[in-house]
Structure formats: C-alpha cells, structure tokens
Amino acid sequence: MITHQDQIIQNLFKQVNGMEKIEVYDMLLKIETMLRDIKSPIQYDEIKKRIENTSKKSNVSAVDSSGYCYLYDQCQYIKIYKIKTLLPNFLGGEYLYFITPWQLKLMEYTKDNLQSTFAETHLEAVMSVFLQRDKVKSKNPVTGRLRLLELLDQIDPE
C-alpha cells in the first residue's frame, strides 16, 4: 500500500510524462523559487495569478493598436510567438509567427516559411523530413507541445 504522499508524487509524474528531464528540472527550480514567496498552506489561485502576472510582464508586447504578441514556446533554434488580435479566434484572431537566431524577422509559422528559413542550414534535411511526415502545427498529445520544437530540442547545436 502506498502512502498519500506517494500518490501525490505519482500524480505529479503523470503530468510530466513524456517530457525531457531537463525541462522537469527547470520546472522544479521555478517551483522552489515560487515556494519562497508564498504563504502556507499553498493556494492554487494565488499561484495561478502570480504565474499569469509574471508571464504577461515578461512575454507580452504590443503589436499595434489592434493586438499583442507573446512568446508561445521556444527551443534553441526557434522561438514561436502567438499574435492575438481583438478579433475573436474563430474570425482569425490568433496567429503563430516565428524567429530564429539567424533570421530575426518575424515570419508566419507556415510550412513554406519554415522550409525557406531552414534551407542551407544543418537542419534542412531534418526539417524537410518532418514537414513531409507531420503537419506544421501538430502537437504531442501528452505534453501539448508542438512536435517540431520537441524534435529540434533533441538535436545538439554543435
């Protein structure tokens, strides 16, 4: 029979199933840092507000008077931004864009733009195979992360 604490630990590991260990370590460090500043007992609503406020301050930028953009996800080769307009999502109010370390112009996150951006780089073959096999916006059902970013995370930059 397992203890209550062990059951909680099992539930936490279900949440990180499929993630890389380094990502889990980064999250644990963030949790440790947050625990210093919150009162006991832990209140989820307080933590949620704190994370949302911190994320908005560090990751949101105004695009123009009709919307804003924020960092959606990133890896060592690419940063994905989500641009949110004042239009509702079903009317096209949310778009993905990306930049890379060698191309700092914000480009729409499409198959053609990814192919042209990664052409003549050491990632060209990887990108070509991925784009033939998967859709650009396909996500890992376990982690909810874009499959392209998970793939690129596995490639050593050297």
DSSP secondary structure code for residue 89 in this structure:
G
Q: Do residues 51 and 59 make contact, with C-beta atoms less than 8 angstroms apart?
A: no
Q: In the structure, what pLDDT confidence band is assigned to residue 1 with cuts at 50, 70 and 90?
A: confident
Burial 107-136 (b: 16+ CB within 10 A, else e): bebeeeebeebbeeeebeebbeebbeeeeb
**Domain regions of the chain by residue span:** 66-153
69-73, 137-141, 144-148: range with lowest mean pLDDT: 69-73
- Residue 153 gets the label, from left (phi > 0), alpha (psi -120 to 50) or beta, of alpha
% the chain with pLDDT above 70: 83
Give the pTM.
0.59
Q: List pLDDT tens digits, range 18-77.
A: 888 888 888 888 888 888 888 888 888 888 888 777 665 555 555 555 567 788 888 889
CA–chain centroid gap for 27, Å, is: 13
Q: In the structure, what pLDDT confidence band is assigned to residue 126 with cuts at 50, 70 and 90?
A: very high
The long-range contacts involving 19-27, CB below 8 angstroms and separated by at least 24 positions, are 19/143, 20/153
Three-state DSSP at 94 gives: strand
